[in-house]
Amino acid sequence: MANQAKVDPKLGTVSWSLSVSNLKLGVYRARLFDASGKVLEPWNDQRTDDSIPDKFDMKTAPDKLPGCTLWWQAVISDPNDEGGPFVCVVTIEQNRTALCQDAVPGNIEAGSGQLKSIGDQIKFI
């Protein structure tokens, strides 16, 4: 079952963020789908190489989000080729209050060219 984020339609803008721990490099994308599967908002070709969350405000009004799904996918690598564990965290916020946090752990093998693909989805209710 997907994680869920309960949005208050009367409050302000909803945002989401993504971070990757342990100084791993993450290249990622996300999509906000409505209940019929139509893409409402795409985020393409994003990149992070620190533990500071990359934050995005959603343009879709809060009262339109219930029934929508935020899908995300990331490819994680280690620029130092040392490998090791990481956690990719996606957080949904409204008015700077966390509604949902999706933490996906992983591990990269040591060596050149090692990659780990991860992803998940969050359902708005």
Domain ranges of the chain: 3-124
Tell me, what's the pLDDT at 1?
Answer: 53
Tell me, what's the pLDDT at 115?
Answer: 93
Q: Which amino acid is at 79?
A: P
Residues with Cβ within 8 Å of residue 1, at least 6 apart in sequence = none
| Whole-number Å distance between alpha carbons of 50 and 6 | 29
Tell me, what's the pLDDT at 51?
Answer: 86
| Whole-number Å distance between alpha carbons of 113 and 96 | 37
Backbone torsions φ then ψ of 48, nearest 5 degrees: -140, 140
Query: Which tokens go with 108?
Result: 């990269």
One pLDDT digit (tens) per residue for the chain, 125 residues:
579 999 999 999 999 999 999 878 999 999 999 999 999 999 999 999 988 999 999 999 999 999 999 999 999 999 889 999 999 999 999 999 999 999 999 999 998 889 999 999 999 99
